[in-house]
Amino acid sequence: MRSEMVADFEAFATEAAVVSVTLPRISERRMELYAAATQIYQAMQYVDRAGKQSLLKYSYAEFLDNLGALKGVAREEPRAATTTLRFTLSAVSPIAVGIPLNTRASAGQIFFRTTEYAEVPIGEMTVDVPAECTITGTDGNGFAVGELSNLADPIPRVESVSNITESAGGAERESDESYAERIYLAPSGYSTAGPEAGYIFHAKKYSTAIGDVVATSDQAAGEVDILFLMADGATPGEEMIHGLQDYLRDGNIRPMTDLVTISAPEEVTYTVELTYYINRSASAQAVAIQAAVKVAVQDYLIWQRTIGRDINPSKLTNLVMSAGAKRVEIISPTFTAVERTEVSAILGEATVNYGGLEDD
């Protein structure tokens, strides 16, 4: 912008004066043009951004919210993790024992509360009650079976409490990336979930904690299999699978003729072992390159964790080379075809060996 404005000024001044006019670098006129160029450049940036905010590819934050509103898709707010709590009596009771709504169980500083009233029937010892974390977000995820064992609100005749499913489903406020994908899929959700994209749209709408989703119907007509992973690549637990199953059974989502089965994909295991070398001419950056290679390997593990994606060592080579390595010797994995309903899973830890410096 500065160069163009100075060049235009010199061209017009030369034409008017009929002699060559050149602005010195210390010219007051040049400084005036530079100051104006700064303001004009900023204005052009605002115009460029304003235009791009009407496009899903570039939109973000509140601009993206407005695009979503045009298709009736709202950003998902934070959600609390859920689990199922089992309350156990100290002895068989001659009367029904009530478990009040909002009865809390905890593990450390994280509390879960029951979401409905329940009773231990006469003659029974236990009752299972759905519960959710008292805080939203991912902090309530991942409590293993039996870990929520502290009864924060004592109940007469109740001896103990314990979660019988791993807690899951907690999610932060939906990210721009996830929200943009749902807006893109929104037209598929205008009717029931019959089309493949429709089931994917509704599965992702259920929870932002859900990541990769695949819908297949390779068997009898009307039978649909939904396979999914969590947003962080983890295998979904029973709580998330049953929750999504119940959600998709809604008569306004599932066609009456569809039998929908929800599950985690089958895993195909692989290992990672490699040795890489760095150019001797890049020895000054060797430490930084080694750190970048470690990040590249982790990026590969994340990239690989996609349903139906073949185990591809060429991608690993590409990422490590892009991180600055001169060459890479991949011992494992080897290329392995993965079915559409399967997902790769690393076995153990990645072994990354640094072979040292080599001549260019």
Q: According to the model, what pLDDT value does residue 81 have?
A: 93
Task: Please provide the distance, in angstroms rounded to a whole number, between the alpha carbons at the two ends of the chain.
Answer: 41
For residue 118, how many other CB atoms are within 10 A of its CB?
Answer: 19
**Cα–Cα distance measured from residue 133 to residue 105, given in angstroms and rounded to the nearest whole number:** 9
Q: According to the model, what pLDDT value does residue 220 have?
A: 64
Q: According to the model, what pLDDT value does residue 144 have?
A: 93
Where along the chain do its domains lie? 2-52, 82-163, 176-264, 268-358
Under CATH, which number does the domain 176-264 receive? 3.30.300
| C-alpha 162, offset from chain centre | 29
Residue with tokens 């879960």: 112
Q: According to the model, what pLDDT value does residue 43 have?
A: 96
Per-residue pLDDT tens digits of the chain, which is 360 residues long: 999 999 999 999 999 988 899 999 889 999 999 999 999 999 999 999 999 998 999 999 999 999 999 888 899 899 999 999 999 999 999 999 999 999 999 998 999 999 999 999 999 999 999 999 999 999 999 999 999 999 999 999 999 999 999 999 899 999 999 899 889 888 866 655 557 788 888 888 888 889 999 988 876 667 888 999 998 888 998 889 989 988 888 767 777 677 888 999 999 999 999 999 999 999 999 999 999 999 999 999 999 999 999 999 999 999 999 999 999 999 999 999 999 889 999 999 999 999 999 988
